[in-house]
């Protein structure tokens, strides 16, 4: 193999591998405080008790393992291979609960929008199923 | 450089890029996990929780989280291969891969509860109908033995 | 080598014969070793258990009074002599390629408080060494359980003692 062909060879390989490698580099999106609040917090028209149970169920559904839980304080955190979800519930009214989800990776806070959305979707489905069941 | 060589290199590179996407089995959906991991128990929630706590200890796990109000318990045990890492990185606070079991008990009716059992081996989520059933059977046995987890021995140490 | 083989085989056989596996204990036998009853209400038994663990130098990792569950762990570092010996031996055996120190040992305990009556509580204690459960009939486990049990009883007794009358408040002159 000549020097030129070896160079071509390497360039072709690198060009092909670049998109694959680059997709692994996820740059963090900078969110404003209000954007972060609207992304992380949602309100549900359910009691805090039902919402908490649905949160626990959603964490199990998504394959997360409970790491700490305090129902009285409205807090639960769960982990799944380095990724952590922290959930805080606040009672806004008798049948109105705010749920705030924050995500972290390897101990560092990182806003993971797809994960937050997936959690809220699962939670919504659980709450609706529970409502239909009662 | 021959065309065949360039083609070969291209094919190899494509294969390398595609390989990570190939998974032997598709990941299970939340509903499938729920079906595998959930069992019904004919007993009130608190009794099921007590029996589950006893079985967790019986199986050699130690509790890493517990919330009676939420009906959740998480427990771990260290596989032999990771024992050295466990010792060198802070014991229970270490990040050594451990086997875990997470249990969530919720009340369905006054006499019936639902129990969800999540198993992990060295950090990996396990989908095992058999092992979930084995745990569930052990809980049922504890419940059947009346006052769970078991009657205290005759030895009484009054104070 | 040929001459050595029969010796090695017979040695191995002799060692194997010495290893007599004891039959595994039944759950009732394990319970009999791990569970004891104390004449105190569950909340007092719980408080006594956590105080006993703290008195023995354990660090509490999980404490859920409602569920009656405590997990605690105590770290014991090897002595300097042990550490040096292990470093030297591994250095010699591996020709300095993979010398290893002696990691600390972690002694864990899980306590389960089981309410029986208003004034009696059963307490289950299970011990762990480096993240793995210790057999309930092992001397180490029995020793730990006995020590904790004694401390727990002392805690309950201390609570039973009448509170001494408060000293009169100093008056300003």
Domains of chain B: 30-144 (3.30.310.80)
Burial class (CB in 10 A: 0-12, 13-18, 19+), C65: middle
Q: Indicate whether A1 belongs to any domain.
A: no
* Residue A111 structure tokens: 């806003």
pLDDT tens-digit map of C59-71 = 999 999 999 999 9
Q: Which residue has the higher pLDDT, B99 or B151?
A: B99
Percent residues over pLDDT 90 in chain C: 54
Q: Decide: helix, strand or coil at residue A3.
A: helix
Chain A, chain B: beta-carbon pairs less than 8 Å apart: 85
Q: What is the mean pLDDT of residues B104-132?
A: 95
Please tell me the predicted confidence (pLDDT) of residue B154: 40
Which pLDDT score, from 0 to 100, does residue B117 have?
A: 98
Note the residue count of chain A: 134
| C64 → closest Cβ in B60, B62, B66 | B66
Beta-strand pair A83-93/B99-109: unpaired
Mean pLDDT of A20-37: 68
Mean pLDDT lowest for which of A55-64, B76-85, B140-149, C8-17? C8-17
CATH number at residue A39: 3.30.310.80
- The enclosing H or E element of B41 equals strand B38-41
CB contact under 8 A, C66 and B68: yes
Q: A64-68, A94-98, B19-23: which has the minimum mean pLDDT?
A: B19-23
pLDDT at residue B145, rounded to an integer: 86
Q: What is the pLDDT of residue C99?
A: 84
Total-model pTM: 0.78
**Side-chain half-sphere CA neighbours of B86 within 13 A:** 25
**Residue B116 token pair:** 């969800």
Please check whether residue A13 lies inside any domain of the structure. Answer: no
Q: What percent of chain B has pLDDT over 90?
A: 70
Q: SS3 string of A15-76? A: HHHHHHHHHHCCCCCCCCHHHHHHHHEEEECCCHHHHHHHHHHHHHHCCCEEEEEECCCCEE
Q: Which of A40-44, A55-59, A120-124, C98-102 has the lowest mean pLDDT?
A: C98-102
ipTM, interface predicted TM-score of the complex? 0.78
Does B54 sit within 8 Å of C37, measured CB to CB? no
- In this prediction, residue B156 has a pLDDT band, given cuts at 50, 70 and 90, of very low
For chain A, how many structural domains are there in total?
1
Percentage of residues of chain A with pLDDT beyond 70: 78
What's the pLDDT at B56?
Answer: 97
Q: Choose from C42, C83, C123, C131 for mutation: most chain B CBs within 10 A.
A: C131
- Per-residue pLDDT, averaged over C19-46, amounts to 84
CB contact under 8 A, B73 and C156: no
Q: Which residue has the higher pLDDT, C31 or B120?
A: B120
Q: Does C158 touch chain B (CB under 8 A)?
A: no
Touching subunits of B (3+ CB pairs, under 8 Å) are A, C
* Nearest by Cα to A74 from A93, A87, A58: A87
**Residue A128 confidence (pLDDT):** 93
**Residue C33 confidence (pLDDT) above 80:** yes
Gap between the Cα atoms of C134 and C112, Å rounded: 16
Cα B65 to Cα C71: distance, rounded to the nearest angstrom: 9
Q: Which residue pairs from B76-84 have beta carbons closer than 8 angstroms and sit at least 24 positions apart in sequence?
A: B76/B100, B76/B101, B76/C131, B77/C131, B77/C132, B77/C133, B78/C130, B78/C131, B78/C132, B79/B121, B79/B122, B80/C132, B82/B122, B83/C130, B83/C131, B83/C132, B84/C103
Q: Looking at CA atoms only, how far is residue B157 from chain A in angstroms?
A: 34
A92: containing domain: 31-133
Q: Name the architecture of domain C23-77+106-159.
A: 2-Layer Sandwich (3.30)
| Burial class of residue B132 (count of CB atoms within 10 Å of its CB; 0-12, 13-18, 19+) | buried
- Alpha-carbon distances of C68 from C48, C49, C63, rounded to whole Å: 12, 10, 8
Q: pLDDT band at A131, cuts 50/70/90?
A: confident
Residue A69 forms part of a structural domain: yes
d(CA B149, CA B51): 6
Whether C133 and B60 have beta carbons less than 8 Å apart is answered as yes
Give dist(CA C144, CA C110) in Å, integer.
Answer: 12
Which long-range contacts (C-beta less than 8 Å, at least 24 apart) are formed by B1-7?
B1/A1, B1/A2, B1/A4, B1/A5, B1/A8, B1/A9, B5/A5, B5/A9, B6/A8, B6/A9, B6/A12
Percent of chain B with pLDDT over 70: 77
Q: Do B1 and A17 touch (CB under 8 A)?
A: no
pLDDT at C94: 87
Summarised one tens digit per residue, pLDDT across range B9-38 is 765 666 655 555 555 678 899 999 999 999
Q: Which of B64, B65, B99 to mutate: most A Cβ within 10 Å?
A: B65
Residue B80 pLDDT class (50, 70, 90 cuts): very high
Whole-number mean pLDDT of chain C? 84
Q: Burial level of A26, CB count in 10 A (0-12/13-18/19+)?
A: exposed
Residue A119 lies in a domain: yes
Option in A5, A17, A56 nearest B1 (CB)? A5
Q: How far apart are CA C65 and CA C62, in angstroms?
A: 10
Give pLDDT tens digits for C155-171. 888 766 665 555 555 55
């Amino acid at each position: 193999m000549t020097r030129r062909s070896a160079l071509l060879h390497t360039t072709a390989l690198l060009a092909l591998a670049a998109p694959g490698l680059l997709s692994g580099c996820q740059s963090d999106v900078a969110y404003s405080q209000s954007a972060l609040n609207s992304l992380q917090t949602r309100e549900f028209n359910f009691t805090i008790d039902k919402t908490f149970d649905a949160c626990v169920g959603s964490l199990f559904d998504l394959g997360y393992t409970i790491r700490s839980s305090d129902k009285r304080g409205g807090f639960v955190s769960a982990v799944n291979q380095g990724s952590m979800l922290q959930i805080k519930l606040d009672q806004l009214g008798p049948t109105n609960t705010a749920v705030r989800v924050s995500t972290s990776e390897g101990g560092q806070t990182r806003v993971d929008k797809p994960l937050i959305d997936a959690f809220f979707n699962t939670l919504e489905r659980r709450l609706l199923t529970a409502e239909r069941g009662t | 450089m021959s065309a065949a060589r360039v083609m070969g290199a291209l094919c190899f590179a494509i294969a390398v890029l595609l390989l990570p996407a190939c998974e032997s089995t598709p990941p299970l959906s939340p509903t499938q996990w729920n079906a595998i991991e959930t069992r019904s128990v004919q007993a009130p929630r608190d009794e099921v929780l007590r029996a589950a706590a006893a079985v967790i200890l019986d199986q050699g796990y130690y509790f890493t989280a517990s919330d009676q109000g939420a009906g959740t318990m998480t427990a771990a045990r260290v596989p032999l291969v990771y024992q050295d890492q466990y010792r060198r990185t802070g014991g229970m606070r270490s990040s050594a891969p451990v086997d875990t079991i997470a249990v969530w008990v919720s009340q369905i009716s006054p006499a019936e509860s639902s129990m969800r059992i999540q198993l992990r081996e060295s950090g990996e989520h396990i989908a095992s109908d058999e092992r979930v059933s084995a745990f569930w059977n052990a809980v049922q046995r504890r419940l059947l033995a009346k006052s769970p987890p078991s009657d205290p021995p005759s030895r009484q140490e009054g104070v | 080598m040929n001459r050595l083989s029969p010796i090695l085989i017979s040695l191995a056989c002799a060692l194997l014969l010495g290893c007599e596996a004891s039959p595994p204990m039944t759950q009732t036998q394990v319970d009999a070793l791990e569970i004891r009853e104390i004449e105190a209400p569950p909340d007092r038994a719980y408080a006594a258990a956590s105080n006993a663990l703290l008195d023995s130098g354990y660090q509490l990792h999980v404490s859920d009074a409602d569920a009656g569950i405590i997990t605690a762990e105590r770290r014991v570092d090897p002595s300097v002599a042990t550490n040096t010996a292990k470093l030297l031996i591994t250095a010699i055996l591996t020709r300095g390629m993979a010398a290893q120190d002696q990691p600390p040992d972690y002694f864990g305990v899980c306590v389960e408080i089981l309410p029986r009556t208003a004034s009696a509580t059963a307490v289950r204690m299970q011990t762990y060494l480096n993240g793995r459960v210790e057999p309930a009939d092992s001397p180490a486990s029995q020793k730990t359980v006995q020590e904790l049990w004694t401390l727990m009883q002392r805690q309950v007794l201390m609570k039973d003692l009448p509170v001494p009358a408060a000293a009169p408040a100093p008056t300003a002159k």
